[in-house]
Amino acid sequence: MASPIFISTRSEYFSIRIVLRSIELTLSTIYNSLINKEFYTTNNIYLFIKYLKLSVILYILLNGPQLILKVSIQYLSENGFVNFNQFEKLMKFEYFLKYFLNINIFIMSTISFFDQDLETLFLCNLKYQDLKNNQQNFENYLKLSSNYKLDSSKSWSKNVTDLLKFSREFKYFIKRYTNYFFLNCILFLSIEYLPERFTSLILGFISFQTFVDKVGTVLSLILVTILQMSNYHYTVLVITTFYGSWNLAEDLLIYYFNKIHFTTSEQNQWLNTRKGVLFGIGLVYYLLIQRFPLMSFIIYSNAFFNMGYFITKFSGEIPDNSKSLATWCITESLWDGHERFVDNLST
């Protein structure tokens, strides 16, 4: 485990300006993808219906039992069969599910490893951008071999086992969400069961460690002070939203990294030099999914679709052969195009 950071300067890759520009780009891209008639193909309409069905199914599975239990306990409480404390416990459990677990995003991201239609959406927009920009990302992407490819002849359980054995992206995905859920459980236990002074200390420490390497020591201390003066709920909301958005942004790159064979250090460097841009993208989609859970899979599929556009804004053209890829990965892992990204948002 990395040692805590106490003194740090502001990251050149993560600034309010970069994040705001990334949010602006994401919102305009969502709008353009919805009004562009060229995207309304038969296959894309079919996929829209598919993900609409999955959105409804996922919503019912996650919220149906909880709603039934809530109505039942409320009815029994009003008629004197159970005490009001049972209803309070249910509300606390509902609060935990909504703000700390975020299981719907984890489920959708897990499904993305098995659903090739999401990759089809990503490639659809990537191909469209190639036609606009006279590039060959789409064709060159298809030429590259995958780090791991599912075998449709195998059972679901066998494919999961193979993913855990051979897919670096899947193993990293499980590790990311394990750490995320573990952190969220610490936050929940802190605000619910620890004395106030310990809760304040733990939330302050986690908040500071979250932001110190991104906005610098001074600004981090100011943010922590503001959060410490607020209700614990807002501190938790900031922390869980930050890490949830970042996880979602990385989830949207699963297909890209499955084809582009970065080493672990190169991939970490690639992500680090683009963290402000990626966070803005992840934040928009994370908040949309949280706000409109009934449309979660529709929003998630749109995120994959638009990643086919985003990737052309902060990554170079994919080489046309695997021999050139190794050298390209070394140079591509470092990105200094932030100013161009911020100043040029024409879509």
Q: What are 73-126's pLDDT values in tens digits?
A: 667 666 666 665 666 766 777 788 888 888 999 999 999 999 999 999 999 999
pLDDT at position 148 is 78
pTM of the model: 0.91
Residue-wise pLDDT tens digits, 212-239: 888 888 889 999 999 989 888 899 999 9
Stretch (H or E) spanning 172: helix 168-193
Q: CB under 8 Å to 320, separation ≥6 — which residues?
A: 136, 139, 140, 143
- Which residues in the chain land under pLDDT 50? 1-2, 346-347
pLDDT at position 346 is 45
pLDDT at position 150 is 79
d(CA 206, CA 239) in angstroms, rounded, equals 8
pLDDT at position 109 is 96
From residue 275, alpha-carbon distances to 242, 267, 281, 295, 302 in Å are 12, 12, 10, 27, 21
pLDDT at position 31 is 96
Q: How is the chain split into domains, by residue range?
A: 16-144+157-343
